[in-house]
């Protein structure tokens, strides 16, 4: 099976779905790039991370729309186009910019179906790059999926590897509900085995990445990679744990988490977001309320601190939960 990057896996999904369904359009800042420039070169960017590269030459300006830097209009246009029968994939360049267009996300696209009595569909995908680790500072590095996971009407997708990224993106485009698709910037170059043919990964079905009966580790996005490193270190001491990657935080595969905790009796949740009202807190609450009798130790959550993301590399390294902190948390629940 071909090894391709997380970035190319999403790019392939976009190509295949645009080929399959002429209703699929892509819009956002620099999704092609170069319009209005003096060189006359189009597809000059293909998205600043290259995820939408090649779409404009293949599908043309009618379906690949470079927009001004107007996040509210980007998301709103995607919502209106979806109500009018298209299947837009909008890009919000950095997840932090969701703050600029929050109304269109949570008051508009998330609620149309409910407010309109179930008589509309709004099949929008909003792709957005997130995550710390590249010294991009407090306004270009956040993992704000907890905010959006809390909103009824949205589906929240957070892939951790190239295979899932492609399958989840194809599912997102074919899904009839609005989907927010978070792409961790640090994962873009990471390669994995990805079939060339189109396939879907269903929402609400967690992946059991590792198996082991000592503890349950739930990790999200890039944290899955770090949790695997922590488990590699623990394996040297003969400690094996379940590692669960929820893949979507809304819907959340509660049953897989609860079944695992029933087996292990111990839970560690790893989330790159700050701790308050985080997905980590949400999963800890889930197990406290529905799996308390399984627990043999207090739940550990491993998160970023309750602080904005610092610029200085020395501080940012401390901000992001890393393999050592995860390993320590697992050892703690095993005490």
Partner 1 sequence: MTISSAELLSLYRQMKTIREFEERLHVEIATGEIPGFTHLYAGQEAIAVGVCSLLTDDDYIVSTHRGHGHCIAKGCDVGAMMKEIFGRSGGLCKGKGGSMHIADVTKGMLGANAIVGGGPPLAVGAAIACKLRGNRSVSVAFGGDGSSNQGTVFEAMNMAVVLNVPAIFIFEDNGYSEHTGAAYAVGSRDLAGRARGFGMPAEKVDGADVFAVREAMARAIAHAKAGKGPAAIEATITRYYGHFEGDPQNYRAKDEVARLRDTMDCLKRFRARVAADGSVAAADLDAIDGEVLALIDRAVIAARADAPPAPAELTTDVYIRY
> CB of residue 251 vs partner 1: minimum separation in angstroms?
5
Q: Which of residues 25-44 bind partner 1 (CB under 8 A)?
A: 25, 27
* In the chain, beta strands by DSSP E: 3-5, 24-28, 64-66, 87-94, 125-130, 155-157, 179-184, 191-193, 207-213, 216-219, 241-245, 248-250, 267-270, 300-302
Contacts of 99-103 with CB under 8 Å at 24 or more apart are 100/71, 100/72, 101/71, 101/72, 101/74, 101/75, 101/76, 103/72
For residue 39, the number of C-alpha atoms closer than 13 Å in the C-beta half-sphere is 6
Residue number, 61 or 196, with CB nearest to partner 1: 61
Residue 177 as a binder of partner 1 (CB under 8 A): the answer is yes
Alpha-carbon distance of 228 to 219, in angstroms, equals: 9
140 is catalytic: yes
List the one residue from 34, 44, 121, 137 that touches partner 1 (CB under 8 A).
Answer: 121
Q: Which of residues 234-293 bind partner 1 (CB under 8 A)?
A: 251
Residue 136 as a binder of partner 1 (CB under 8 A): the answer is no
Q: Tell me if 196 sits within 8 A of 239, measured CB to CB.
A: no
Quick one: which segment of 118-126, 191-199, 270-278, 311-319 binds partner 1 (CB under 8 A)? 118-126
C-alpha closest to that of 71 among 46, 98, 108, 50: 98
> CB of residue 131 vs partner 1: minimum separation in angstroms?
26
> CB of residue 89 vs partner 1: minimum separation in angstroms?
13
Sign of CA dihedral 64, 91, 164, 319: positive
Q: Which of residues 44-103 bind partner 1 (CB under 8 A)?
A: 62-63, 65, 67-68, 70, 72-86, 88, 103
Out of 15, 140, 184, 306, which one is annotated catalytic? Answer: 140
In the block, tokens 């935080």 appear at: 249
Residue 311 as a binder of partner 1 (CB under 8 A): the answer is no
> CB of residue 73 vs partner 1: minimum separation in angstroms?
4
Query: Quick one: which H or E segment has residue 224?
Result: helix 222-235
**Percentage helix, strand, coil for the chain under 3-state DSSP, each rounded to 5:** 40, 20, 40
List the one residue from 19, 58, 99, 120 that touches partner 1 (CB under 8 A).
Answer: 120
Alpha-carbon distance of 306 to 304, in angstroms, equals: 7
Residue number, 115 or 138, with CB nearest to partner 1: 115
Site string for partner 1, 141-160 (x = CB under 8 A): -----------xx-x-----
> CB of residue 82 vs partner 1: minimum separation in angstroms?
7
Q: List residues near partner 1 by CB under 8 A.
A: 25, 27, 62-63, 65, 67-68, 70, 72-86, 88, 103-104, 107-108, 112-121, 152-153, 155, 175-177, 204, 251
Catalytic residues: 140
């Amino acid at each position: 099976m071909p090894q391709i990057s997380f970035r190319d896996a999403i790019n392939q999904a976009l190509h295949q779905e645009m080929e399959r369904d002429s209703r699929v359009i892509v819009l956002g800042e620099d999704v092609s790039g170069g319009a209005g420039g003096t060189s006359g070169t189009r597809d000059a960017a293909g998205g600043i991370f290259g995820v939408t590269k090649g779409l404009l030459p293949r599908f043309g300006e009618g379906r690949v729309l470079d927009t001004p830097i107007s996040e509210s209009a980007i998301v709103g246009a995607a919502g209106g186009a979806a109500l009018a029968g298209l299947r837009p994939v909008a890009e919000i360049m950095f997840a932090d910019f969701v703050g600029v267009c929050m109304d269109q996300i949570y008051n508009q696209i998330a609620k149309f179906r409910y407010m309109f009595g179930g008589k509309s569909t709004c099949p929008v995908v909003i792709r957005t790059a997130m995550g710390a680790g590249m010294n991009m500072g407090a306004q270009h590095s956040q993992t704000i999926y907890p905010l959006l996971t809390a909103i009824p009407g949205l589906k929240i997708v957070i892939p951790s590897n190239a295979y899932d990224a492609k399958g989840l993106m194809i599912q997102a485009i074919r899904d009839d509900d609005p989907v927010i698709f978070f792409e961790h910037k640090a994962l873009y170059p990471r390669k994995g085995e990805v079939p060339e043919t189109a396939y879907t990964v269903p929402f609400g079905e967690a992946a059991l990445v590792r198996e082991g009966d000592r503890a349950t580790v739930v990790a999200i996005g890039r944290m899955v990679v770090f949790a695997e490193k922590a488990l590699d270190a623990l394996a040297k001491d003969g400690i094996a744990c379940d590692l669960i990657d929820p893949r979507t935080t809304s819907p959340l595969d509660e049953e897989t988490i609860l079944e695992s905790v029933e087996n292990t009796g111990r839970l560690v949740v790893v989330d790159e977001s700050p701790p308050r009202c985080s997905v980590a807190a949400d999963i800890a609450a889930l197990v406290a309320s529905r799996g308390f009798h399984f627990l043999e130790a207090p739940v550990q959550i491993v998160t970023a601190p309750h602080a904005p993301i610092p610029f200085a590399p020395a501080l940012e390294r401390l901000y992001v939960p890393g393999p050592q902190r995860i390993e320590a948390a697992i050892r703690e629940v095993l005490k």
